[in-house]
Amino acid sequence: MKPFQNVGFLGLGQMGGAMAERLLGADFRLHVFDPRAAAMERFTQSGAVAHNSPVSVANAASIVFACLPSQEVSRQAAFGPGGVVHGSAIRIYAEMSTIGKDAVEQIALALIEKGIETVDAPITGGLPGARAGTLAMLVSGSPSSIETIYPLLRVIGKDVYSMGDHPGMAQVMKLVNNLVMASNMIVASEGLVFGAKAGLDADMMLRVLHAGTGASFASSAILKNAISGVFNFGAALSIIEKDVSVGLHEASLLGVAMPVTDKARTIWHAAYAAGRGGEDFTTILQVVEEKSGTRVRGRPA
């Protein structure tokens, strides 16, 4: 017999919704909550049960996943007045949001007092990976809890990487990943703008970068559609700005100097402060283009 008959999911935004969709139609009941009723409607049409709060989900499901937009929203969903900490059925809480080590440790401490295990479970691979089920799943927490939710992780994503038995360490790995990606995005955009202004073909530049020592996921995959004028990778610029800020803050607490990444952060923050937070994060290419008066455009997608 499976150790779970009811599974919950909090947060049905772009990433959360795409991951939760992969749990539909399985041989357990899916319970969902999102403050937007419209976000839950498509799930209820497919057999999921809609709830009006995190605690309501936690009263029904023994395992609850969460993919939420900020540290404060995650804290409230976990141990706020209507949080899962007050639930009667929940036994494992899998925090998939990117909120940093300190926030996850706070959540884990609050929940363990009620006998609820926390699995730190951020993901990487972007919206395309979430839709295709190819996400890399990062986890840290008690081995028994990870083993319990492992079948669900393999439904949501592809490979599962354990970062240890302390909730928070998977967050560190996710922040390392996002800091490197965000810095690569700026560097790749600047390189492409430089080449375009000199007269190089945008599509050929990506081909050469992919084949050479300058290869990165930022240039080979994330910016692939952007150079054709389609900015739709699937995450808001505000999310990347938040992740970089959280990552640099946690690095500073450890006394780690990251001057190059900090310089990249200033560009992300300037774009966010200029009102571009709601745009797809690949529009950072446009920000770099505007500074040099050049457009990097290849063949239409």
At residue 258, does pLDDT exceed 50?
A: yes
At residue 11, does pLDDT exceed 50?
A: yes
Q: Kindly state the percentage of the chain with pLDDT values over 90.
A: 96
Question: Which of 2, 114, 158, 174 is labelled catalytic?
Answer: 174
CATH number of the domain where residue 65 is located? 3.40.50.720
Q: How many distinct structural domains can be found in the chain?
A: 2
* 158 tagged catalytic: no
Q: Quick one: pLDDT at residue 146?
A: 98
- Would you say residue 1 lies in a domain? no
Same structural domain for residues 221 and 250? Answer: yes
Q: Quick one: pLDDT at residue 54?
A: 98
Instruction: Give CA 63 to chain center in angstroms.
Output: 20
Spatial neighbors of 4 by CB under 8 A, at least 6 apart, are 28, 61, 62, 63, 148, 152
What is the pTM assigned to this prediction? 0.93
Same structural domain for residues 17 and 143? Answer: yes
Same structural domain for residues 61 and 153? Answer: yes
**How is 196-233 classified by DSSP, letter by letter?**
HHHT--HHHHHHHHHHSTT--HIIIIITTTGGGT---S
Same structural domain for residues 100 and 210? Answer: no
Same structural domain for residues 218 and 137? Answer: no
φ and ψ at residue 207, rounded to 5 degrees = -65, -45
CATH number of the domain where residue 203 is located? 1.10.1040.10
Parent domain of 215: 172-292
- Would you say residue 204 lies in a domain? yes
Same structural domain for residues 211 and 114? Answer: no
- Would you say residue 300 lies in a domain? no
